[in-house]
């Protein structure tokens, strides 16, 4: 059923949206009733320091109290709060609100015993285990500021975050479990500490019995690498006294979450407490349509913003159970894993990345595995992290659930900028669109000069200030960078860094980034950062990295290097070294596997690398050469190098496939 512009405008969604823009004060003070305040705010928006805005400036609250204690006080302490399901260890455990609150209060006591208090930072580097949530909520209980670092990042990345956040304590585990290997965290933490110049008082390690040589087997060897005291989580917990929630002002930072920018230095997005609590509470009801007692599963990682908002805080604030999944969509053990878990726990709202659905689809194109499970508890499938391509959207509608909600997000915004507000008024979803603007987000399209672009015209997607509660307040220690990156380019607007258009009924289509950020399997990565790593190799004079189209991961990095004069290392050897360098410094998550050696990089006469042309070459698209190109011969040479590389890669893949196909036949044939 097609929806008209009038239906969008006049329905419950349209009314809410209008009020949020025209009268934000009333709208958000009303939404603030979803939160239990220590002292209730009487003012929603403080614009006195515009273009910096503050939400609920005179409210005080505690986030962990809102996520845990208040549900216990309301008589729901025995209900499930956290469901842990690990496909890589075959373990599962359900924590009630009582149990989770007790663990959180006790771990808050542990942190306090190490001197962590209001405003102190704690870096959390953990796999997808309940303790990652317990540590975060414990920080929130103390008014300490957590900074969770994704476990797929390497030591150097962890070090840059430690250097910037300057934590008092680091909380980690002895390792994570990937399907093909164990990722030992302690050497990574030790190396990161050795690389950083921050002074850290203590590292608290959760021992996992599955990891050989883990924390309980002794940390003396790591203590030799870096001078820091290591503590065992379990032992600390037996000694600690539970800590009560500490009230903080609404504007107090809850966490710093680092995300990729265009340079090598990650941006530390700062989230406030009160505005975030209100935004999440509003979204749980109106976007995810979840209330107390129901189950929400966000199959992401606590290291990403989606994990912060809808694995850790959102569901718990709503009094719902949050499902913490350690595993992959496929291969752990198979492509039915999502549906098996949805059936087992009667998941109501399921949220994952399009890349995960593509991975499932590849293994189960007809959706035969889905039919084997009762997933009727699902009310919708939520997708974000990258644009849901129309093919994936249609497959999901046909095979998973008729209601598929693609919603557009950023680490900076903390929650969805656009979506389909099924708890308020469910409207049709449109393939390829991230949906309608979320109340509070005044989304507009501007050209590069700052002029409004007419309906359906593509341009820079911006959000008119003020943005709603829950959005970033600054970049940690980099307030000027915050202004420069987001507010200065178009005064009065927040620059999203995404480009796209809005259709006649107001649906927003996000088509790509306008900067050097790429999206690999729903993970946001900086090509500039990878270029820096490549260029630092002793053989490399210059490097460029672009996002190549990938059927599974959306995009994958593809590198080009120009060698220094006189370097004669064979290309395969160099390629191996470069791939290992990116993996070792940025992390496996970059999926950096392709790099070619070229004589020069195509540039404009003013020296700008023609990345668009590099992308076109790698993706086999039509080459549109700008008149400003300095030397077309360089581009032709790059073209030959790319073709040769891709052809050789394909031949090698075919040879491997043939060898694999021949293997069982050989085994079966009599010797």
Name the segment binding ligand COA (CB under 6 A); options: 257-265, 412-420, 486-494, 583-591: 583-591
Q: Hey, which residues between 244 and 283 contact ligand AMP (CB under 6 A)? A: 259
279 closest CA partner among 245, 253, 247, 317: 317
Q: What is the DSSP letter of 203?
A: E
Question: What CA–CA distance (Å, rounded) separates 555 from 548?
Answer: 5
Contacts of 77 (CB under 8 A, 6+ apart): 71, 96, 97, 98, 101
Closest C-alpha to 517, from 542, 497, 543: 497
Binding-site size for ligand COA (CB under 6 A) equals 25
Report in angstroms how near the CB of residue 435 gets to ligand AMP at its nearest.
8
Question: Binding partner of residue 613 among ligand AMP, ligand COA, none, CB under 5 to 8 Å per kind?
Answer: none
Q: Choosing among ligand COA, ligand AMP, none, which partner's interface includes residue 588 (Cβ < 5 to 8 Å by kind)?
A: ligand COA
Interface with ligand AMP: number of residues (CB under 6 A):
19
498 binds, among ligand COA, ligand AMP, none (CB under 5 to 8 A by kind): ligand AMP
323 scored as a contact of ligand COA (CB under 6 A):
no
Alpha-carbon span 101 to 72, nearest angstrom = 9
Q: Could you give the CA distance from residue 55 to residue 53 in angstroms, rounded to a whole number? A: 7
Among ligand COA, ligand AMP, none, what binds residue 329 when CB lies within 5 to 8 Å by partner kind? ligand COA
Q: With CB under 6 A as the contact rule, which of the stretches 76-84, 220-228, 436-444, 585-593 interacts with ligand COA? A: 585-593
Give the 3-state secondary structure of 496-558.
EEEEEEECCCCCEEEEEECCCEEEECCEEEEHHHHHHHHHCCCCEEEEEEEEEEECCCEEEEE
Per-residue binding string, ligand COA, 165-204, x by CB under 6 A, is -----------x-x-x--x---------------------
- Out of ligand COA, ligand AMP, none, what residue 434 binds, judged by CB under 5 to 8 A for its kind, is ligand AMP
Closest distance between ligand AMP and the C-beta of residue 514, in Å? 9
3-state secondary structure (DSSP) of residue 313: helix
- Position among 31, 316, 323, 384 found at the interface with ligand AMP (CB under 6 A): 384
d(CA 539, CA 602): 20
Q: Does 266 bind ligand COA (CB under 6 A)?
A: no
The DSSP letter of residue 118 is T
Tokens 């490399």 correspond to what residue? 540
Output the smallest distance, CB 484 to ligand AMP, in A: 18
Q: What are the structure tokens assigned to 296, written together?
A: 């929400």
Q: Does 524 bind ligand AMP (CB under 6 A)?
A: yes
Residue 382 near residue 434 (C-beta atoms within 8 A):
no
Site membership for ligand AMP, residue 410 (CB under 6 A): yes
Stretch that binds ligand COA, among 38-46, 112-120, 473-481, 520-528 (CB under 6 A): 520-528
In whole angstroms, the minimum distance from the beta carbon of 261 to ligand COA comes to: 18
* Cα separation values, 442 from 6, 10, 661, Å: 18, 17, 55
In the bound complex, what is the minimum distance in angstroms from residue 385's beta carbon to ligand COA? 3
Report, in Å, the least distance between residue 31 CB and ligand COA.
Answer: 24
For 178, how many CA atoms within 13 A lie in the half-sphere containing its CB? 10
Phi/psi of residue 348, each to 5°?
-95, -45
Q: Does 219 bind ligand COA (CB under 6 A)?
A: no
Q: How far is the CB of 433 from ligand COA (least distance, A)?
A: 18
Among 206, 513, 537, 556, binds ligand AMP (CB under 6 A): 513
| List 240, 384, 396, 485, residue binding ligand COA (CB under 6 A) | 384
- The CA radius of gyration of the chain, in Å to the nearest whole number, is 25
Residue 366 C-beta-side C-alpha neighbours within 13 Å = 2
Distance separating alpha carbons of residues 304 and 295, to the nearest angstrom: 20
Q: What stretch of H or E contains 595?
A: strand 594-598
Residues 609 and 604: their CA atoms lie apart, in Å, by 7
Nearer to ligand AMP, 434 or 468 (CB): 434
Contact partner, 389, from ligand COA, ligand AMP, none, Cβ < 5-8 Å per class: none
Q: What is the C-alpha to C-alpha distance for residues 432 and 508, in angstroms, rounded to an integer?
A: 9
Map the footprint of ligand AMP across residues 389-408, applying CB under 6 A. 406-408
Q: Which residues pair with 397 in a beta bridge?
A: none
Helix (H, G, I), strand (E, B) or coil at 211: coil
Residue placing its CB nearer to ligand COA in the complex, 152 or 528: 152
Positions 165 through 204 that interact with ligand AMP (CB under 6 A) = none
Q: Which residue has the tokens 């501007």?
A: 446
> ω into residue 51 within 30 of 0, thus cis?
yes
Considering the complex, state which of residue 13 and residue 382 has its C-beta at the smaller distance from ligand COA: 382
| Contact stretch for ligand COA (CB under 6 A) within 201-209, 515-523, 621-629, 663-671 | 515-523
Least distance from C-beta 142 to ligand COA, angstroms?
26
- For residue 429, the minimal CB distance to ligand COA (Å) is 18
Match 């515009």 to its residue by tokens.
50
CA distances from 224 to 184, 198, 217, 585 (A): 17, 17, 15, 22
Binding test (CB under 6 A) with ligand AMP, winner from 165, 312, 400, 510: 510
The site partner of 133 among ligand COA, ligand AMP, none (C-beta below 5 to 8 Å per kind) is: none
Q: Which does 120 bind (CB under 5 to 8 A by kind): ligand COA, ligand AMP, none?
A: none
Sketch the per residue contact string, 418 through 457, with ligand AMP: x for CB under 6 A, - otherwise: ----------------x-----------------------
Asked if 588 touches ligand COA (CB under 6 A), the answer is yes
Token match 């380019």: residue? 489
- Please select the residue that binds ligand COA; options are 385, 469, 547, 602, rule is CB under 6 A: 385
| Number of residues assigned to the chain | 671
Pairing of strands 121-125, 169-173: parallel
Would you tell me which residues interact with ligand AMP (CB under 6 A)?
259, 305, 384-387, 406-411, 434, 497-498, 510, 513, 519, 524
Would you tell me which residues interact with ligand COA (CB under 6 A)?
151-152, 176, 178, 180, 183, 300-301, 304, 306, 328-330, 353, 355-356, 359, 384-385, 521-523, 588-589, 591
């Amino acid at each position: 059923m097609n929806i008209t512009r009038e239906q969008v405008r006049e329905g419950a969604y349209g009314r809410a949206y209008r009020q949020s823009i025209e009268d934000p004060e009333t709208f958000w003070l009303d939404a603030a009733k979803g939160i239990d305040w220590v002292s209730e705010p009487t003012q929603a928006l403080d614009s006195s320091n515009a273009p910096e805005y503050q939400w609920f400036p005179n409210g005080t609250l505690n986030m962990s109290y809102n996520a845990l204690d208040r549900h216990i006080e309301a008589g729901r302490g025995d209900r499930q709060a956290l469901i842990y399901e690990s496909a890589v260890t075959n373990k599962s455990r359900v924590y009630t609100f009582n149990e989770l609150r007790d663990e959180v209060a006790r771990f808050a006591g542990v942190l306090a015993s190490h001197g962590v208090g209001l405003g102190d930072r704690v870096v959390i580097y953990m796999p997808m285990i309940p303790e990652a949530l317990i540590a975060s909520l414990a920080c929130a209980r103390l008014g300490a500021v957590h900074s969770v670092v994704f476990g797929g990042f390497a030591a150097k990345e962890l070090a840059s975050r430690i250097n910037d956040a300057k934590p008092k304590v680091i909380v980690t585990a002895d390792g994570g479990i990937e399907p093909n290997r164990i990722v030992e965290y302690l050497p990574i933490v030790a190396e990161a500490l050795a690389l950083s110049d921050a002074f850290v008082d203590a590292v608290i390690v959760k021992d996992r019995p599955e990891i050989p040589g883990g924390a309980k087997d002794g940390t003396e060897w790591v203590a030799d690498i870096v001078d820091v005291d290591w503590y065992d989580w379990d032992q600390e917990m037996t000694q600690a006294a539970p800590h009560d929630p500490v009230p903080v002002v609404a504007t107090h930072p809850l966490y710093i979450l680092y995300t990729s920018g265009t340079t090598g230095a990650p941006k530390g997005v700062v989230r406030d407490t009160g505005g975030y609590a209100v935004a999440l509470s509003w979204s749980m009801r109106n976007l995810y349509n979840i209330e107390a007692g129901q189950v929400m599963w966000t199959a992401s990682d606590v290291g990403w913003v989606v994990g912060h908002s809808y694995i850790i805080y959102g569901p718990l604030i709503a009094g719902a159970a949050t499902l913490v999944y350690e595993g992959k969509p496929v291969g752990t053990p198979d492509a039915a894993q999502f549906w098996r878990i949805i059936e087992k726990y009667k998941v109501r709202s399921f949220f994952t990345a399009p890349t995960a659905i593509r991975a499932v689809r590849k293994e189960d194109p007809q959706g035969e595995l889905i039919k084997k499970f009762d997933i009727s508890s699902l009310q919708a499938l939520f997708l974000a992290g990258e644009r849901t391509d129309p093919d994936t959207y249609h497959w999901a509608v046909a095979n998973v659930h008729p209601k598929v909600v693609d919603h557009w997000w950023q680490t900076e915004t903390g929650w969805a900028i656009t979506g389909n507000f099924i708890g308020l008024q469910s409207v049709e979803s449109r393939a390829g669109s991230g949906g309608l603007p979320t109340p509070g987000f005044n989304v507009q399209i501007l050209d590069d000069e700052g002029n409004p672009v007419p309906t359906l015209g593509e341009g820079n997607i911006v959000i008119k200030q003020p943005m709603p509660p829950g959005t970033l307040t600054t970049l940690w220690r980099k307030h000027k960078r915050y202004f420069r990156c987001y507010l200065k380019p178009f005064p009065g607007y927040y620059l999203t860094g995404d480009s796209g258009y809005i259709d006649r009924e107001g649906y927003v289509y996000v088509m790509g980034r306008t900067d050097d950020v790429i999206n690999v399997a729903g993970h946001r990565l900086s090509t500039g950062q990878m270029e820096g790593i490549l260029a630092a190799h002793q053989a490399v004079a210059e490097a460029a990295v672009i996002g190549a189209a990938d059927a599974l991961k959306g995009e994958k990095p593809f590198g080009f290097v120009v060698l220094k004069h006189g370097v004669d290392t064979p290309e395969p050897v160099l390629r191996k070294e470069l791939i290992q360098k990116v993996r070792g410094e940025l992390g496996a998550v970059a999926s950096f596997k392709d790099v070619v050696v070229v004589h020069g990089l195509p540039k404009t006469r003013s020296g700008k690398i023609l990345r668009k042309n590099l992308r076109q070459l790698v993706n086999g698209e039509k080459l549109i050469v700008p008149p400003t190109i300095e030397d077309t011969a360089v581009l032709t040479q790059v073209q030959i190098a790319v073709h040769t590389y891709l052809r050789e890669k394909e031949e090698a893949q075919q040879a491997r496939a043939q060898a694999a196909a021949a293997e069982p036949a050989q085994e079966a044939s009599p010797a």
